[in-house]
Every structure is written in structure tokens, then in C-alpha cells.
Amino acid sequence: MAIMIMLVGALEELGCEAVFTASTVIQACDILAANLFDAAMLDINLSGTTSYPVAAVLQGRGIPFIFSTGYQVERIPERYKKHIILTKPYPMGELARAFTALLGPAPR
């Protein structure tokens, strides 16, 4: 919860116009169905289940995304290893770099 508040704050500071959060796969899919997104960030563990179903939806819709996790990187399936994976805890500067890599530099 505190992590989510920090991330939302950091993303807003980076210039994200709207930041949506979800704590379950179902919530995430509902939000995805109802909104248009430029990019996404997935924690691998969503309320005890993996967020890979959400990753599949994002891939299907062509929305770029990064992972964030407290697990060791080795646990992540091979097919997702080409994505940027931030392992907790990470500096907010790295979050900025990851999103810049996904979206290009922020418009001035």
C-alpha cells in the first residue's frame, strides 16, 4: 500500500496524466477494458496470484509494460525476461528510466 502511494506519486511527478491501480488480476482486467493506456507496470504477485494473465492482455493490446517484483528475477518465466524487470527495492530514478525506455522522453 505504501509502495503503491510512492509509485503513484513518482509517476505523477514524471508527468503521467492519469494513474490507475489494481490489486487483483480481475481489477486490472476491468480497468484495462474500460480505459486506454500508454504503458503499464505489473507487480508479479497480485494478492497472492501471478499477474501473468494481465501481461497476456497487455501484450494482446500492444501496451508496453515493465515488471516490478520482490521475487528473484530467475523466477520470472523465460518469455517475459525481455521486459524490463525492476526488483524491489529500486530507486525512483530507475522507474523514470524504465518508463522513458517504454515511452520515449517526456514531452516538454
Site residues (vs another protein, CB under 8 A)? 1-6, 8-9, 21-24, 27, 45, 47, 69-72, 75, 87-90, 92
For another protein, which is the closer residue by CB, 1 or 36?
Answer: 1
E-assigned strand segments in 9-103: 40-43, 45-46, 49-50, 65-69, 85-87
Whichever of 59 and 96 has its CB closer to another protein, that residue is 96
- Whichever of 22 and 98 has its CB closer to another protein, that residue is 22
Q: Least distance from C-beta 104 to another protein, angstroms?
A: 26
Q: Are 28 and 51 in contact (CB under 8 A)?
A: yes
Q: What is the dihedral of CA 70, 3, 98, 8, to 10 degrees?
A: 160
Give the nearest distance from C-beta 107 to another protein in angstroms: 25
User: Does residue 14 contact residue 93 with C-beta atoms inside 8 Å?
Assistant: no
Q: Least distance from C-beta 3 to another protein, angstroms?
A: 5
